[in-house]
Structure 1
Amino acid sequence: MATTINVDGFAQALRATRRKIRAAARPAAQAATEHCYSLAKLFVPVSEDGHYFYGTAAKAAPAGSKQAAAYYFAPGTLRDAIYQAYSKDNSADGRATYHLSWNHRKAPYGFMVHNGTSRAPAHPFITRAMNAGKADALVIMKAEFVARVKE
């Protein structure tokens, strides 16, 4: 006695599901990143008044001309410089990586705010956002992933 089973339909359905799973990775990762992004914007310190940033050019400037080498920044510049970006280099088929950081050209002092200096305490707003949002981000990512696969 011989039994023959045609599994072509099952294999085709499995391939379709695999494609859905791989396609769901990027939107799921983006949804989680969006949550941490919004938290980072909440946690970043914003001054009430604008301020000047004196880069290395100010140190080399002659006495009395330090102000000429200063850059003025309006309140909220660092908050507005926070971004999220998809990383093609660190992503692959079925795996998506997003970067959450600040644009150092728009807010060159961001590193000093986030990590502190010898005279100023650190305000690690990105780290705080990632730590505070991790549990919720995983729930959001899972929900988005499941919704995309079930489509």
Structure 2
Amino acid sequence: MTIEADISGALAFLDEGAELMVDAARPAAQAGAQVLYDAVKRNVSALGRKTGKLEGSIYQKFSDELSRGGRRVYRISWNAKKAPHGHLVEFGFLQSYVMYQGNDGRVRPLVRPGMEGLPRPGRWATRAEKDAYYVPLPGGPKQRPGKAFVRSAASQFPKAQAAMEARYLEELRAMGVIR
């Protein structure tokens, strides 16, 4: 005995449902990204405002190059052109020289008397060349600890996950895939 059945309609329905599920992934990913973005903005605000450049440089952006198949990726970080010091705040740094804030608001290393007007040591200059040009910190270099404003937002992953799940189900209901 042979039973034949045409299931092409069922397969087409499943394909359409799968396509709708992929379409629902981007708004769901954005909902999770928004939770993390808000956490990063709060963390930067808690650091205390100096110039506001770091706070103004925080962004979230959809990543076409990392989004493949049903996966949707958003990047949350700081714009290094707007706030080139962001990595120093996030990860910390070793401060070797006395710093001062100029009239323009920029922080710079203090130049030794008699060295003003001379060309600065290059990026790859030796430590001795830099020490001869800039005023070293009394007592030697100091480690300035990082203030992890992006990495500490990872504590919000469970909240971001919940936001993504809720938005995904909301999108699927709106599309009629689920009730």
TM category, shorter: 0.7 to 0.9
Instruction: Give the corresponding residue for 1:59.
Output: none
Gaps of 5+ in 1: 51-73
Instruction: Give the corresponding residue for 1:125.
Output: 149
Using the size of structure 2 for normalisation, the TM-score is 0.65
Please say which structure displays the higher CA radius of gyration. 2
Q: Structure 1 counterpart of 2:70, which letter?
A: G
Instruction: Give the corresponding residue for 1:30.
Output: 30
Instruction: Give the corresponding residue for 2:21.
Output: 21
Q: Structure 1 counterpart of 2:14, which letter?
A: L
Q: Structure 2 counterpart of 1:8, which letter?
A: S
Runs (4+) of structure 1 moved beyond 2 Å?
1-6
Q: Structure 2 counterpart of 1:15, which letter?
A: D
Q: Is contact 1:20–1:148 with CA below 8 Å preserved after alignment?
A: no
Q: Which has the higher helix share?
A: 1
Using the size of structure 1 for normalisation, the TM-score is 0.76
1:138 CA drift (Å): 0.7
Aligned residues: 124
Mapped to 2, the partners of 1:144 and 1:39 lie a distance apart of 18
Gaps of 5+ in 2: 95-142
Q: Structure 1 counterpart of 2:19, which letter?
A: R
Q: Structure 2 counterpart of 1:82, which letter?
A: I
Q: Is contact 1:46–1:79 with CA below 8 Å preserved after alignment?
A: no
Mapped to 2, the partners of 1:17 and 1:147 lie a distance apart of 15
Instruction: Give the corresponding residue for 1:110.
Output: 86
Matched, 1:46 2:22: no
Identity %: 31
